[in-house]
Structures are given as structure tokens and as C-alpha cells.
Structure 1
Amino acid sequence: MKIKKAKYIRVSSLEQKSERQIEVEDNIKLYEDKISGLIPFKERPAGKRLMKDIENKKINYVIIHSVDRLGRNVVEMQKQLNWFIENKVQVFAENIRMELLNEDGTMNSIAKMIIDLLGSVATLEIEALKERQMQGIKIAKAKGIYKGRKQGATMSDKDYLKRHKDVVNLLKDGLSLNKISKLTGKAFVTVKAVKLKLEFTQTNNNINN
């Protein structure tokens, strides 16, 4: 089978330079997004074009600078890699100088390890952030300047779901509550509350429609 290569590049903004990721050889089609990594791959302009060309059998080999170019979190990275696997597309990560898929189309064990490691790092960052927030609250309380939420204050379901948009997205992806809690660093009871509010909101929308 003829190898039809493409290189995918993503930088976070129009101001950010992409030269570090651009080393394109002849006969390699370039797809470049200047967009936030929070946007899912399939919703990015160049990402959508690349996926369409893959479906049309124009591309079967994709070069990326690193795995984290594919998604905002471990789940998104894994989902996009699974899509490439399903469409029989090889993926080459330049930062580790290796192809991510085996000859039989399964994921390389080292690639899987890297994705799991990225997930662990993300979890540690979330825990560190929560710890800093708690320390900040303790200091504010000691100085008598921490007010907290006003007694009796409530948050609408819409605002609550917006606040926990990461949980909502993962619920829609079909992940279990335990898995979502682990990936987001949020308490299981919070994840469950989001699930209940989301189901309630969806039910109301269906009734109103």
C-alpha cells in the first residue's frame, strides 16, 4: 500500500509561532490549526479537513510533534488515536521519534505508556492546584478576609453544568463515574451530582420539545 503522509500542527493562538513544529518534506501535506487545545480535534478546522481526507483515503500516515497535539486531555488523545486505528492510519510522534501503532494496527505499548504517564501528570497538576486553593483559603480565613459563598446562595443547574463542563463532556463520552472522578480530580459525589443534573436537564428539554 502506498504511504500517503500528512503533518498535523497545532499552536494555541495566532500569535504563537509554529516554526518549531514545521519541518515538512516533499509530498507531505500540511494541516495547521492555530486554536486552543481545549477544542476537540474533530472540531478544529484543519483537524476536520485531515479526518475527511483520511476517510476519503487520501492520507494514511500522520506526523505530529507530540501526542498532546491530539487532544485537551488523556481521554481526547486516546479517542483520537483510536479513530486513527479504526481508519488504519499510522501516527508518528516526532518528540519520541517513533510510530505509535504496531504493524497489526494495535497501539504500541510505549505509546500507551506515554499516554498513561500524561494522565498521571495531569492528575498530579489538578491535586497540586486544589492544594494551593485550600492553602489560599486557610490564609484568607486567618486574615479574616475569606467570605465563602453567601448563606442561602444557590446555583442554577445551567451554571452548575457550565462550571463542571469537563465532567459533562466526559459523561457524554460514556465514561464511568469513577473514571471521570480520577481524570478530572473531582470528588465522586460531584461527578454524580453533575450526572443527575445533566439527566434532569436533558429530560426537561425533551419534554419541552
Structure 2
Amino acid sequence: MDTVKKATYIRVSTEGQNTGRQEEIIQGKAYIEKISGRIPFKERKQGSKLLKDVANKEINYVIVEDINRLGRDTFDIVETINTLVKQDCTIEIVRHGLKSKKNGKDDFFFTLMTGIMASLAEMDYMSNREAQRQGIAVAKIKEVYQLHAGKGKMSNEKYLEQHSDIIEMLNDGKSIRNTAKIVKKSKSTVQRVKSFIEKQKECSFKGV
């Protein structure tokens, strides 16, 4: 029986984000990087290194917290999974309790579910990005957003840029509490950003 050589891939989007929560799942060698999820997996420094180590048979079991760690969109995620599977590498997705192999054999259910989840992840991301884009457009028309009472004004575009880390976490489906913990900002700040995005989305739908 082949020796299991595990590795864990961890990614967060910005330098300001903490990898601590994902580090709780680490087994074996850890590949950790802070890079935008919109960069193809094979073009990431640690992503490409992981693929190379798998190809060289140094790793044969890869663990990730969620499927969206493996690529920027449906095609990229599926391509990454297929590349690993072709190298006889087992993939474990912790959040959903999925493994690409069961009893040493490829699991059809894993292939089916990861394809569906990759598509849903991309659809959710694009939907949130479009809402954000519309919010920025509305913000430009309105010119200014009152950030805090008595603390001056800031353009909506600058406001969204300043809190891009919060927006990405919310787009990933994280709760207000978890987002605040990950980006190290207060829950009230996260709530304000969330409310602002929803307000801009509502305004855009109304054609404001």
C-alpha cells in the first residue's frame, strides 16, 4: 500500500487577512499564500509549487477548506481537480466532507458534487460582483457616502476599495461575525459595509 503523503493548501485574499482559521485543518506539508482568488491556481506561487510536488510524487493527498480555494472559476477549479486526480492524488474538501477516493477507488459522487459546487460558487461570486459594480455606479452618481456621523465624508468608490477585504469575505458567504474575525475589523464595521452594499443594490434595482 502506498504511503499517504498529505499536504494542505490555504489561501486568503489580502495581506491583512488572517489564515488562522484555515490553519486549524493543516495536515502534512502546508502551502499558504495571500493572493486574490481571481488568479488561476497554476499561476499562484504556492499553487504551482503544490502541483509540481504532486507531479513529482512528493504529495499524493491534498486537503483544502473549501472548493473555492482551488481556482478562480468553474473551469479553473475543475481543471485543478482533474490535474490532481490524473496524478493519482486524493483531494479532500473539509467543509463538505468530500473525498475524491473511497476505499482506494475514484468516487463518482465527488466528481458530480464538485462540478455542481464549482458552478454555484462562480455564479454566487459573479452575482455579488455585479451587485457591487451596480452599487459603485450608483455611488458615483450620488458622489458621496456619509461614512460615520460627525467623521466627515468619503466617496463611495473609496469606501468600497477601503473595505475590499470585507466585501470578498461576504461574497464568499462568510457571516458578519466570521468576517470580522478574519479581517480583524469590528462587527459593526462589517455590518455597515454589508448594509451599504445592500442599500446600493436596492437603489440600482429601483433605477436610482
Q: Which runs of 4+ in 1 moved over 3 A?
A: 101-108, 120-137
What is the CA-CA distance between 1:75 and the residue it aligns to? Answer: 1.0
Contact 1:85 1:105 in 2 (8 A): no
Whether the 8 Å CA contact 1:102–1:108 is kept in 2: the answer is no
2:4 matched residue in structure 1: 3
Q: CA deviation at 1:74?
A: 1.1
TM-score by length of 1: 0.56
Q: Which runs of 5 or more structure 2 residues have no equivalent in the other structure?
A: 138-208
Is residue 33–residue 46 contact of structure 1 (8 Å, CA) maintained in 2?
yes
Structure label with greater radius of gyration:
1
Instruction: Give distance in 1, aligned partners of 2:109 and 2:60.
Output: 21
Counterpart of 1:15 in structure 2 is 16
CA distance in 2, matches of 1:85, 1:73: 18
- The structure-2 alpha-carbon separation of the partners of 1:125 and 1:19, relative to structure 1 and needing over 3 Å to count, comes to closer
CA contact 2:68–2:121 (8 Å) conserved in 1:
no
Give the total of aligned pairs. 140
Distance 1:86 1:114 in 2: 16
Tell me if structure 1 keeps the 8 A contact 2:84–2:90.
yes
Corresponding position of 1:32:
32
C-alpha separation between the residues in 2 aligned to 1:118 and 1:95? 14
Deviation string 1:48-72 (CA, Å, 9 cap, x unpaired) is 1111111111100011111110001
Partners of 1:65 and 1:94 within 8 A in 2: yes
Partner-residue secondary structure (3-state), 2:92: strand
Per-residue Cα deviation, 1:170-197 (whole angstroms, up to 9, x for no partner): xxxxxxxxxxxxxxxxxxxxxxxxxxxx
Higher relative contact order (CA 8 A, sep 6+): 2
Unaligned runs of 5+ in 1: 138-209
Residue by residue over 1:115-141, the C-alpha shift from the partner in whole angstroms, topping out at 9 and shown as x without a partner, is: 31441453366467668978999xxxx
2:113 alignment partner AA: M
Query: In structure 2, do the counterparts of structure 1 residues 3 and 65 end up closer, same or farther at CA, with 3 Å as the change threshold?
Result: same
Matched letter for residue 93 of structure 1: I
Aligned partner of residue 75 in structure 1, secondary structure: helix
Residue 6 (structure 1) shift: 0.5
Structure 1 residue 42 displacement after superposition:
0.8
8 A Cα contact 1:5 1:28, kept in partner = yes
* Residue in structure 2 matched with residue 115 of structure 1 by the alignment: 115
* Alignment RMSD (CA, Å): 3.2
How high is the sequence identity, in percent, across the aligned residues? 30
